[in-house]
Amino acid sequence: MPAYQADSVKGYYAKYAASAGFPAQSGYNASNRAYPDVSALADSNAFCHNGICGGAGGTSAAAPTFGGFVSVLNAARAKAGKAHVGFLNPALYAAAAAHAEDMFEDVTEGSTKCNCVSCDTCDNGFMATPGFDLATGWGSPKWAGFVAHL
């Protein structure tokens, strides 16, 4: 697990691993890189490509949404005479550990449990909780907090 996220992830495990519905440790590797780092709108996002319009959801929608957010952050930093953030995660985790309420809308409901009709193994998953969690990361970004703390 990368050092920049170790305290956050280990804190989540320590607090919630014994909770009902938490995945068995045999189902994941607690020493690997944990994800997600953040959350973004990811349900029925509209898109158009080569003249064809439709909707996308999940990581396919959230990743480019957050990527655009970081691009605008870099533009704001450049305008202020600051360097681009570069590899974001070490700075993100350090700033979030000290300023999470300023930087994120904390998502405290939901889980990674299956929620579709066709799934038959819906009895465990990582729960969204106050603070950093393995369902929503730090939460959804707040522009003013990112500009102030990154």
Q: 30-49 pLDDT, tens per residue?
A: 889 999 999 998 877 888 88
For tokens 């579709």, the residue is: 116
pTM: 0.85
**Are 41 and 65 a contacting pair, CB within 8 Å?**
yes
**CA–CA dist 25, 15 (Å, integer):** 14
Residue 67: per-residue pLDDT: 93
Cα–Cα distance for residue pair 83/110, rounded to 1 Å: 36
Q: Left (φ > 0), alpha (ψ -120 to 50) or beta: where does 45 sit?
A: beta
Rounded Cα distance, 76 and 148, in Å: 11
Query: Which pLDDT score, from 0 to 100, does residue 68 have?
Result: 93
Spans in the chain with pLDDT lower than 50: 118
Q: How far is CA 16 from CA 13, 35, 77, 130, in A?
A: 5, 16, 37, 11
Residue-level pLDDT at 119: 55
